[in-house]
Amino acid sequence: MSPALQGLLAFLQTWWVELVCGVVIVAVVPLIAGYVVLMERKLMADMQARLGPMRVGPHGLLQPIADAVKLLIKEDLIPEDADQFVFWLAPVVSMTAALTAMGAIYFGPSFHVARDINVGLLFVLGVSSLGLFGIVLGGWASNSHYSIIGAIRSTAQLVSYETAAGLALVSGVLLAGTLRIHAIVDAQKTDGVWYIFLAPIAFFIYVVASIAETNRAPFDLPEAESELVAGYMTEYSGFRWALYFLGEYANMIVVGSVATTLFLGGWLRPFPNVHWLNFLDLLPPLMVTAVGAYSISRAGKQPVRVQKQFMWGVGLACFAVALILAVPLLPGPLRILLPGLHGAFWFLLKVTGYIYLFMWLRFTLPRYRFDQLMHLGWYILIPLAIVNVFAVGIAMVLQSEYHWNRWIALVITTFVTLASALFLLHLHDKRVEAASTASPATTDSYAG
């Protein structure tokens, strides 16, 4: 055997788990993104008292697949005046960045690609921000006014809100004392508390900033359909458009995972250290069983026989998953699977909750105007985030040097931060008032 082949085999032997996980992530994320779209449409329909997609499959369960097929066989248009090379490159960049960022995320203690990168959190942050190039280059290459305005807005928005998001993450990292993703979750386990309770303001800032970073309503100005048709994607169609969409939803999963890891306890179940609450381990199989039972109970109401069978299939698949989740609960050697399986379940549940929050906000809040967006970012969120970093730092010094109770220190500094937030809002109100009395007609609402 040649040494090159031997080297390859040795490489595979050490890394096969990571390789398999990577392939699974790349293969499954498009499917998940499709179902997130379905979830979004269903939720929107529910909040607007409609039914949403109902035709393809029972309750529209096969809609994502139909959409994917439609997008794949659609005509692939490239405008004549577009820059061909950059037009081709841009959507690929957008999706590659989001998927690469997923490489460093731990979707459970044993389901991850990269082995404990020293700068894990920064890696996710930095690489996912490269997706911006996809938007900017796509908008530029389309050679259309709507596209380029969308791209410019997107750049301005991302550069402003990334600062706030980064500073919010600094507060969490201060509490954890490390940038390694695995160690951050371990720190929350030893502290016995999720960091959302220790740094609620940081979490709030991160939520707002991450909505802006993923270009979603109420901050979806780069693709505001009432002003810009579809923003930077105006000229895209078919598969390239699907790549953009995929990148956007993959990015949502990435920001959700970062928030889950740093603020929501990662793959830990609620109260991981309290032993009399160990019955909470029963929750994952029970929840999945409930979902399965619900879909079987709905099966009788389906109009067509194929749809009935499909609902039964979904129910039985849920039961199978519940069985897999229940296996490690039995006493015996299989108990070592418990953290891996249940960890992935809790992690994905938390990420889903975070994405649900995104959608809820989208259907609730009206879109911001661009100058309001910039004001919110630069005049309120970034100063607040800086104050919050100081507050958390001071609380930690009080705890370690002056032996204060951790909770007292954090509550006091949190209230100080809140007071400064009120002060910032007051300043903002005064500025708006002054602007409206001084020059009523000169605000350019569509600037940028």
Contact call for residue 374 and another protein (CB under 8 A): no
Decide if 108 contacts 134 (C-beta within 8 A): no
Contact call for residue 3 and another protein (CB under 8 A): yes
Contact call for residue 161 and another protein (CB under 8 A): no
Helix residue spans in 130-237 (DSSP H) = 131-141, 145-176, 181-191, 195-198, 200-213, 225-228
Contact call for residue 157 and another protein (CB under 8 A): no
Contact call for residue 167 and another protein (CB under 8 A): no
**Cα diameter, the chain:** 83
Pick the stretch among 21-29, 151-159, 235-243, 363-371 that binds another protein (CB under 8 A): 151-159
| Nearest distance from C-beta of residue 90 to another protein, angstroms | 10
| Nearest distance from C-beta of residue 130 to another protein, angstroms | 6
Contact call for residue 127 and another protein (CB under 8 A): yes
Decide if 181 contacts 111 (C-beta within 8 A): no
Q: What are the structure tokens assigned to 150, written together?
A: 């969308």
Nearest Cα neighbor of 93 from 157, 136, 123, 126 is: 136
Contact call for residue 22 and another protein (CB under 8 A): no
Helix residue spans in 327-405 (DSSP H) = 338-364, 370-375, 382-402
- Distant-in-sequence, close-in-space partners of 358: CB < 8 Å, separation ≥ 6: 211, 214, 216, 252, 256
Pick the stretch among 52-60, 145-153, 350-358, 383-391 that binds another protein (CB under 8 A): 145-153
Q: What is the dihedral of CA 325, 330, 333, 337, to 10 degrees?
A: 20
Query: Pattern of binders to another protein over 67-106, x per CB under 8 A?
Result: ----------------x-xx--x-----------------
Quote the CA–CA distance of 283 and 289 in Å, as a whole number. Answer: 10
Q: Kindly report whether the peptide bond that precedes residue 218 is cis, defined as omega within 30 degrees of 0.
A: yes
Contact call for residue 168 and another protein (CB under 8 A): no
| Nearest distance from C-beta of residue 156 to another protein, angstroms | 8
Q: Among 123, 244, 347, 370, which residue sits at the site for another protein (rule: CB under 8 A)?
A: 123
Contact call for residue 129 and another protein (CB under 8 A): yes
Q: What are the structure tokens assigned to 357, written together?
A: 């929050």
Quote the CA–CA distance of 128 and 132 in Å, as a whole number. Answer: 8
Nearer to another protein, 123 or 368 (CB): 123
Contact call for residue 117 and another protein (CB under 8 A): yes
Quote the CA–CA distance of 295 and 167 in Å, as a whole number. Answer: 43
Contact call for residue 151 and another protein (CB under 8 A): yes
Residues touching another protein, count (CB under 8 A) = 33
What does the binding site for another protein look like in residue numbers (CB under 8 A)?
A: 3-4, 7, 11, 83, 85-86, 89, 117-119, 122-123, 125-127, 129-130, 132-133, 136-137, 139-141, 148, 151-152, 155, 158-159, 162, 179
